[in-house]
Amino acid sequence: MAQRILKLVQSEELRRSKSDKLIAHYIERNLAEIPFETAKSIASRLELSPMTVGRYLRRMGFDGLDQLKHELRRGSSNPAWQVKGPVDRLREDIREGKLLAGLIQEQINNLGMVYELTTSPEWQKAIDALIGASEVYVAAYQNVRGIAQYFASQLSYTRSRVQFVDGLNGTYSELLDGSVEGRVLFLHDVRRFAAKARPLAMEARRAGVKVILYTDEYCPWAAEVSDICLVVPGSHGPLWDGAATTIAVMDLMLSNIIVVLGDEVSERVGMLTRLQDVFGDFEA
């Protein structure tokens, strides 16, 4: 697939104007970076308009950069989706059908898609909601529960009023009692989907709580029950679901929030560190 794209941008048909040549040269020389670019970022680097980049991509036969990325992903030995540095051994192991090599390649592909998620409007809406909420409640079930608890714990270092809810009281009343406006529920649920997840999201919205749903591509009801939906690739491997993609998303989300809040986070961490020293939670 990468070779076909290289032939396209090297053709005379796609190198007619000055802007054509700029874009063609950029794609040719930076094919490995395309999965981590947007049309806007390419345009900015080349001092062109995003519309010019978009028109060029359509002349290539792609309806936008996402379609070009999709074609790159289809190539099993595509250099655009390989780790940087020496990759010959990985490629050879994949050709030989070695299980772990294939799983590593899948994780690399998924991380490329995670970057695309971070450039989406839904991502920014989620960041704004988590920062602006009066209270944030995090819920999850089954094998993603531990990751969600980690996220809630780390998020509590960046802002106040963050709580993981386990539903053991049978009502989720701390979230649904309507006593505080501006609440946000960050719900994690991936296949197999938990029986409680969908009803919780629906009740939360009924109670005026904004719902951010983190889920995978297999969820059939995501749009129906959420205000903001973050969708990541589902597991395609022969084993169980891996956690690398979810952890990457959570860490990037936390990093994004820290960057936006800046000194506020430093002040809060300083306060929490002092309290940890007071109560002796860590060795001196």
CATH of the domain at 62: 1.10.10.10
Give the tens place of pLDDT for each residue, 138-168. 999 988 899 999 999 999 999 999 999 999 9
In a domain, 230, yes or no: yes
Give the per-residue pLDDT at 99. 62
For all residues of the chain together, what is the average pLDDT?
85
For 216, phi then psi, to 5°, come to -115, 180
Averaged pLDDT, 76-103:
56
In the chain, the percentage of residues whose pLDDT exceeds 70 is: 82
| Domain count across the chain | 2
Q: In this structure, what DSSP letter does residue 163 have?
A: E
* Lowest-confidence pick of 57-71, 81-95, 135-149: 81-95
Q: What is the distance between the alpha carbons of residues 68 and 14, in angstroms, rounded to a whole number?
A: 15
Listed residues 118, 140, 171: the one ending a domain? 118
Query: Is pLDDT at 197 greater than 80 in this prediction?
Result: yes
Give the per-residue pLDDT at 44. 87
In 13-36, which positions are buried (b, 16+ CB within 10 angstroms) versus exposed (e)? Answer: ebeeeebbebbbebbeeebbebbb
Listed residues 51, 83, 118: the one ending a domain? 118
In a domain, 284, yes or no: no
Residues 196 and 269 in one domain: yes
Query: Is pLDDT at 84 greater than 70 in this prediction?
Result: no
Residues 70 and 128 in one domain: no
Residues 112 and 204 in one domain: no
State the residue range of the domain holding 266: 121-279
Residues 174 and 156 in one domain: yes
Averaged pLDDT, 207-232:
93
* Inter-residue contact 117 to 230 (CB < 8 Å): yes
In 83-118, which positions are buried (b, 16+ CB within 10 angstroms) versus exposed (e)? Answer: eeeeeeebeebbeeeeeebbbbbbbbbbbbbbebbb
CATH code, domain carrying 128: 3.40.50.10490
In the chain, DSSP finds a helix count (H) and a strand count (E) of 14, 5
Query: Is pLDDT at 28 greater than 80 in this prediction?
Result: yes
Listed residues 84, 99, 118: the one ending a domain? 118
In a domain, 6, yes or no: yes
Confidence (pTM): 0.66
Residues 62 and 112 in one domain: yes
